[in-house]
Amino acid sequence: MAVKRKSGLTPTVFLKQAGPGRSIRVYRDKEVAYLQGSPAKAVFYIQSGMVKLTVASNRGRKKKAVLAVLQAGDFFGEGCLGSERRRMSTATSIGPSTITRVEKAVFRGELDRDPEFAAMFTEYLLSEIARLKADLADHFFNFSERRLARILLTHRGFTQTSKTGSSLLHLSQTTLAEMVGTTRGRVSRFMNEFRGKGYIRYNGGLEIDSERLTAFLEG
């Protein structure tokens, strides 16, 4: 017997409409949604655009690393649903982004009321765990050049299709360097090498030849 929905809204409609405990805002490029160390009181959902999660070290020489670059359909700030009381990272918009903010109590209530919403969110969390494990293994076993190649491939969801059918990636070399864990200068050198080998092209944007780049990663 099917479980009757109690909220009356599909998960997508719930996340894309304002309502009690839910607000929608358009963030500017480089605008911060929340800062590392700030109170964790809500979950965020990206309707459009991209968001970068970064973490900074407070010990000795301050360093910053990119934990993830998220796109439309992704959540962030979900740690507040567990034991997180303070934000463990800073969330910053890359370009203009339309983002829904859902208060923690409202989000928890929807998880309890709606099995479809709970199943959708569980599937998302499982996919994020798999991505984090792959990223961690990549940092342990691959050199910077190969990590960059993998990022270019795995983040094709952040691209737009050009007139030739290729993918145009809209991430700066600074952001790519933070994701790889190296300097912008090294990323620039790697990108020039990739272009010389035909893995990428510049044509009004960055075009990625996924077949050649995959062949490079496969050795």
CATH number at residue 176: 1.10.10.10
| Residue at 116 is within a domain | yes
Listed range (29-33, 53-57, 85-89) with the worst mean pLDDT: 53-57
Model pTM greater than 0.85?
A: no
Whether residues 156 and 66 fall in one domain? no
As a whole number of angstroms, the distance between CA 34 and CA 94 comes to: 14
Domain end residue (candidates: 108, 139, 170): 139
- Last-in-domain residue among 115, 139, 163: 139
Same domain, 190 and 93: no
pLDDT at 47: 96
pLDDT of residue 172: 78
pLDDT at 151: 82
Quick one: pLDDT at residue 103? 98
Residue 200 lies in a domain: yes
pLDDT at residue 93 greater than cutoff 90 = yes
Q: Does some domain include residue 4?
A: no
Residue 148 lies in a domain: yes
Mean pLDDT calculated for residue range 82-97: 94
Q: Tell me, what's the pLDDT at 78? A: 96
Q: Which long-range contacts (CB under 8 A, 24 or more apart) does 86-89 make?
A: 86/37, 86/38, 86/39, 86/40, 87/34, 87/35, 87/36, 87/37, 87/38, 87/39, 87/40, 88/36, 88/55, 89/36, 89/53, 89/54, 89/55
DSSP state of 72: T
Q: Are residues 162 and 76 in the same domain?
A: no
Torsion over CA: 154, 158, 161, 162 (sign):
negative
Nearest to 103 by CA among 5, 23, 8: 23
Mean pLDDT of the chain: 85
Are 25 and 129 within one domain?
Answer: yes
Give pLDDT tens digits for 138-151. Answer: 777 768 888 888 88
Structure tokens at 38: 């700030």
Average pLDDT over residues 50-66: 81
Please identify, among 139, 172, 196, the residue that sits at the C-terminal boundary of a domain.
139
Give me the domain span that covers residue 174.
Answer: 143-217
Instruction: Give 165's pLDDT tier (boundaries 50, 70, 90).
Output: very low
Looking at the fold, whether 108 and 211 belong to one and the same domain comes out as: no
Whether 3 is covered by a domain: the verdict is no
Domain count of the chain?
2
Predicted local confidence at residue 150, as pLDDT: 84
163: pLDDT strictly greater than 90: no
